[in-house]
Amino acid sequence: MTPTGRQQGLARSTRGDAIELDAGWLGNFVAELYSRDRVYAVVAVAWSLDGDGPVLAPCQVRTVVEPNVQIYVVPDALLSALRREVGSRVALKPGAARIWWPGVSRRSDPGEHPLVLPLEGESAEDVLAEFARQFHLSRPDVRSEIRQIEDREATRAETAEAELETVKRQLRAACGLAGVGRQLGLRALRADATEQASILQAFGENVAALRTRTGLSQLELSRRCFIRTAQISRLERGERVPSLLVLLVIAQALGVSVADLTADLPPLTRQAGRDHMRALITKTPRSRHRVWHLAQASGLPRPYANALLYYMAAFGEIAQDDSGYEMAQHPAGGAEG
């Protein structure tokens, strides 16, 4: 059979939805692969390691890619020659499938032209699902959007890091204070950290229980959420604070609501810090009730003291005027504890 159109001169036979290469046309195939005029993706499928056929059936690949994608079946005998032509970074390996987007070169980032290699014992359905995920995540427009998101996240991370360093400096300064204020301030910080750890632990247990009830492994859940398996593992162990976006995608993947994920979580009361701040406001002169005075006297970092005072004011435990904070005459009692 003689190929026509875009397939002309690339292969001598077809296999369903794919073109099967032979040695005589490998050079033409590589020329098309590196062509600057190419605007479509090229998918190459090697034979499975057991030799029963292509690692992914071309007809199945066709169902998860765009109509203009060209699919090739590459026999084992051509893999070494293909590796020499395209370089080891973006070569097709035995028993795998590879996606080459326009603009590929020998120096390209392999992650931008992903290789899908089946895991031992992985079903054909899971391999196809992973191929589909890699195909859509590696699309040039998606990569561009991901880079923009990563740039924004990097900027946020730098800002958060700067704020953390400020808190660390203030905490070190607080640790240098003498007396009861310093000891109680450190006790409040430790108690707050313990409360937060218990909340994260309970959240992780909720995620693990709902995932198990749904019948998903951590790997399957991570694929549905487009996040790393290690991140799911850390969330379930209570070692990571989830962002709002992560909460939403996990809830969607598990078919539950965010309320289900956060059900029965213990409250963050900051009880030790509030008790400490109440005692300071009660015992210190009215002229020492401004934020910076209370932060210094409490032995707490300034941002933490600010947040604690705002929290107490929001629940009506204390009142604020031009001269600072004072105990409320009739506390609203909204905060637990």
Q: How confident is the model at residue 9 (pLDDT cuts 50, 70, 90)?
A: very low
103 conformational bin, left if phi > 0, alpha if psi -120 to 50, beta if neither = left
Digit-coded pLDDT (tens) for 186-237:
666 677 778 778 888 899 999 999 999 999 999 999 888 888 888 899 899 9
More confident residue, 176 or 170: 170
Contact 73, 79 (CB under 8 A): no
CA 296/CA 91 separation, integer angstroms: 62
User: Of 39, 16, 26, 22, whose CA–CA distance to 91 is shortest?
Assistant: 26
Per-residue pLDDT at 282: 84
| Cα-based torsion angle of the residue sequence 153, 158, 161, 165 in order, rounded to the nearest 10 degrees | -170
The CATH class given to the 179-267 domain equals mainly alpha
Mean per-residue pLDDT over the chain, rounded: 81
The domain segmentation of the chain, as residue ranges, is 5-138, 179-267, 271-327
pLDDT higher at 324 or 250: 250
- Residue 44 has phi, psi (to 5 degrees) of -115, 135
In contact, 74 and 82? CB cutoff 8 Å: yes
Mean pLDDT of 69-73: 93
What pLDDT sits at residue 2? Answer: 34
Q: Give the highest mean pLDDT range of 39-43, 234-238, 243-247.
A: 39-43
Query: Would the pLDDT of 260 be above 80?
Result: yes
Strand partners, 325: 320
Residue given tokens 């379930």 in the structure block: 236
Query: What confidence tens digit (pLDDT) does each residue in 139-164 have?
Result: 888 878 777 777 777 777 677 667 66
Q: What is the pLDDT of residue 1?
A: 32
User: Alpha carbon of 129 to those of 43, 47, 213, 293: distances in Å?
Assistant: 15, 18, 22, 59
Residue 12 confidence (pLDDT) above 90: no
- pLDDT category at 176 given cuts 50, 70, 90 is very low
**Is residue 316 pLDDT above 80, yes or no?**
yes
Helices (H), 176-290: 180-214, 218-225, 229-236, 244-254, 258-261, 271-283
Q: Which DSSP state fits 56? A: S
Q: What percent of the chain clears pLDDT 90, i.e. is strictly above it?
A: 31
Confidence at residue 213, expressed as pLDDT on a 0 to 100 scale: 92
Q: Which pLDDT band holds residue 169 (cuts at 50, 70, 90)?
A: low
Q: Which pLDDT does position 116 carry in this prediction?
A: 92
Fold of the domain built from segment(s) 271-327: Arc Repressor Mutant, subunit A (1.10.10)
Does pLDDT of 312 surpass 50? Answer: yes
Write the DSSP symbol of residue 23.
G
**Confidence category of residue 131, pLDDT binned at 50, 70, 90:** very high
Q: So what's the pLDDT on residue 177? A: 39
Tokens matching residue 222: 């991570």
Q: Strands across the sheet with 115-116, in order?
A: 13-15, 18-20, 70-74, 42-46, 97-100, 115-116
Supply the CATH classification number for the domain 5-138. Answer: 3.40.30.10
180 HSE (CA, 13 A, CB side): 4
- Among 33-42, 216-225, 269-278, the range scoring the smallest mean pLDDT is 269-278
CB-based contacts of 70, cutoff 8 Å, min separation 6 = 6, 7, 19, 40, 41, 42, 43
- Checking if the pLDDT of 26 tops 70, the result is yes
pLDDT of residue 55: 92
Q: Which residue has the higher pLDDT, 218 or 302?
A: 218
Of the ranges 65-69, 224-228, 271-275, 327-331, which one carries the lowest mean pLDDT score? 327-331
